[in-house]
Structure 1
Amino acid sequence: MADRYKEASDMAKGRPFIPAHELQKREQDRIRLPFRHLVDPQDPYYYDISLHLEMQRRAGVEIDQTIADNAVKYIHWKHQNAKDGEAKRREFEAKQAQEAKREIETWQARREAAERWKTSDGIVYYILRGPLIKIGTTTRPRSRFDTLMPDAVLAIEPGDKDLERLRHTEFASLRDPNVGREYFTPGSDLLDLIRRLREEGGVPHIPHASLISREAAELAVKELLAL
């Protein structure tokens, strides 16, 4: 009966239950192992080292200090290797969990973007003109881009004037005062948003007039976003 209560207590605390007779046997074996003069009894792996030496003794190996020292090195290496393996396993599992979380977040973002496209008549666009990025909005992107003649259309998202104002406020610190309120320098936060929009909605393919060739535009986008 006492063992049952002990088992329930150990299981509740996350410890493996070891019956009393097994503990007693282990203690008897520990006392019988004749290696205290060769191995430090305070070694955290003393019991495993002693068992290792006992197995060698039963196999006919004459146990001396050199054999004992090698056993200490081996058992310590074995435990350290197990710890390293466990650490790598936990690191791998954590990495897998982070990747799964990113996939879920990307899927949710794409779903939300799809819902916004259903209810939006216009877009907020991010176009490259020389060294700057223009953030604007339109309900007729093809004619608008023919007028603006951007080097490249970097990204688009469903939205209207309200979202445009929000983006202008969000990246106000990047605004170029010498050009206009809709032109921004390519700071890291703005580029991160553009990359995310391209990942969620794909690369925009809206035909438009431009002052540079398609090859030059593709190279400019590649260098800007480090693709």
Structure 2
Amino acid sequence: MALIDLEDPAFTHIADALAEMKNAGIELDESSVAAAIKLGRHRVSQKNTRVRLPKAREQGDGAGIVYYIRRGAVIKIGTTAQPAKRFATLLPDEVLGFEPGDRALEQERHRQFAHLRVGLTEHFRITPALLEHAQALRMLHGEPDPAWPTLGTLQRPKGRKSLPSPPAPSSPELVTAAEGAHQCGIARNTVQGWAHRSLLQPVGKNDRGMPLYFLDHVLHFAVYSRAHRRTRRTV
């Protein structure tokens, strides 16, 4: 994984190529990872797609922001130029704070709080230091816009089918059901249940033949399932 640049515009295609190789029984060594990188970049050039930050945000001075949102027991540090649209997709429990900035500042914050990072994701463990940092940003840049979507402003439907499909992973980190459950603070049989219902799709197997899943996808369902249980308790 050290060979893969997470900021590569072809990252999603590279991750897809790696998953295809694992499914085909190809050992992921240095040469095969290099081949996946070339294949991913080739697919990007064929489709003529480029990953770019949006040029404008809905409100403010037209620049992007680095945001701090709580999702269950973790805080996600990300960047966007369209916070209302981005949060409608992520549906955080709450927006803790934000600061003007772009990808460079986001990466600086990731390095600053690297000791709290959950795997290779953009999620970080909650600590007093990180919460104090978000509080300082609110004092410096103001409170988050109350119009930005959060779980508290969304009426979620009842039933098990309310869990939405996960977005493309932002990290190539793969975990077993047990490992994903441990990192996300949930029961292993919960993760296995998502896999049984085909909500969580395996992308390969480890050396012991255990199915592997994107950690981002496990975390996605963990966040939404917590929100669903909370909604049911209030009905």
Where relative contact order (Cα < 8 A, 6+ residues apart) is larger, the structure is 2
TM over 0.5, yes or no? Answer: no
Question: Comparing both structures, which one devotes a greater share of its residues to helix?
Answer: 1
What's the TM-score once normalised by structure 1's chain length?
A: 0.39
What's the TM-score once normalised by structure 2's chain length?
A: 0.37
Larger Rg: 1
